[in-house]
Structure 1
């Protein structure tokens, strides 16, 4: 009997949770998707990216500017705030949660953030093939799903092999910024990036200082309320 087909060998960036959306969220997709949401050619899975698809960054944004990509942008609080505060930069939010994408588009529209695009896509495929090599100046991964049960930790995004994907998409001297409120995941993140020769630490001591460009989100607030330490890490792509 043949083995069942699978869509991917690597774990997806976040589990797609797409319940019923509100009227405002439906309106976001109807009225704002053309301006903000990338039209991605798919492979087999809905959040996949066809391996032949490539993003023409300059054509999409209408200019050449430093590009920041956030994986798992959630409700979009951090990236909308950053795009609004830094019109000289371009931003790409990668997310699979449709309600979060809708909220991001609504907030970006209110803020007038024209330098932001959204990709409803699995992050590894965005990093491995869709983005041109060396296209990213900063890569953000804030509070990714910790998959805290021991039997599920293999599903974590930041694990062995991930730095290679990030290194491909990052420019020389490009920055990776990470944050989590799960201590064992923070240790795992640090171990996998410390051991990859493509990266060097961008901090002294055990942990990086809190990135002041990261707005306080519900994930961070909830972690603090539960007494968990927030751990930041910063790595630089070697030349």
Structure 2
């Protein structure tokens, strides 16, 4: 009837949800959250006693977060990391990551689902606004971001498809002048440099436009590679 309390069964345990407690389970029942300002115990139907987890109890979890730093949950948005806690439900104990959201709402994420969390990387600390567990704003922002990412991916695919059917002029420098140019370099190329140089010369000799990036730390010879490629272009009357 209308006066009975709703129950949800999970793993042999009964968790009580009552409209006055602001205690919720998410759609797929992976974790629950509670508004600590409005919570009123339901006569030990669920034991919400929380104790700080000792370091020895979480030896299998490498914690990348620091207390009071901002984190992002994939499904719930920006919150504040409050540490690791033990939730005691009847005779069972499980370790959770505690995240605080707007209006003191708390989210408890099982250690096994820590992959859903990441650090919030930003230099604008004063401009950070916490998300609310009871709001759909994060879902809307996430949907917009996903749409932008898909649009960007579609643009990249379009560029790549047009590049794949495009053609260009082959660039091949005379071997004698190229060898003379290379002999003027004061240093002997390393094996990695030689591999890069050969790959670039092959790219330039094809009718397909080059699509290559050369990466390396400062002082590892990127300029010597680029100079050889530039020489081939100049010898082919190209810039």
Return the TM-score normalized by structure 2. 0.19
Return the TM-score normalized by structure 1. 0.19
> Larger C-alpha radius of gyration, 1 or 2?
2
